[in-house]
């Protein structure tokens, strides 16, 4: 109930900062690392949507494994 006794239209909620918030890593580098971690999952999901068995390497996963990174560090390994 609100101060006037009526139900409020909305609630304001906040999230306390966690360990991710306090990293000294630049934001761009942090986002780059997050995206790189998610690539394999997304590629596998696309392959599954296109009829490839879960756990097998479809064309998206294969392309991701064989592609070169622009930083020269390679892509990812399984």
pLDDT tens for residues 20-59? 776 677 888 888 889 888 998 999 999 999 999 888 899 9
User: Is 78 within the bounds of a domain?
Assistant: no
User: Is 42 among the domain residues?
Assistant: yes
Residues contacting 52, CB < 8 A, separation 6+: 58, 59
The answer as to whether 44 is a domain residue is: yes
pTM: 0.48
More confident residue, 37 or 18: 37
Could you tell me if residue 61 is inside a domain?
no
Residue 78 confidence class, pLDDT cut points 50, 70, 90: very low
Q: How many CA atoms lie within 13 A of 17 on its CB side?
A: 5
Residue 5 domain-assigned (yes or no): no
Q: Which domain holds residue 35?
A: 26-52
Q: For the chain, what is the domain count? A: 1
């Amino acid at each position: 109930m609100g101060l006037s006794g009526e139900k409020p239209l909305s609630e304001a909620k906040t999230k306390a900062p966690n360990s991710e918030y306090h990293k000294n890593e630049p934001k761009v580098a942090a986002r780059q690392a997050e995206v790189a971690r998610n690539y394999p999952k997304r590629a596998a999901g696309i392959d599954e949507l296109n009829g490839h068995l879960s756990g097998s390497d479809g064309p998206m996963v294969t392309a991701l494994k064989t592609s070169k990174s622009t930083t020269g560090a390679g892509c990812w390994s399984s």
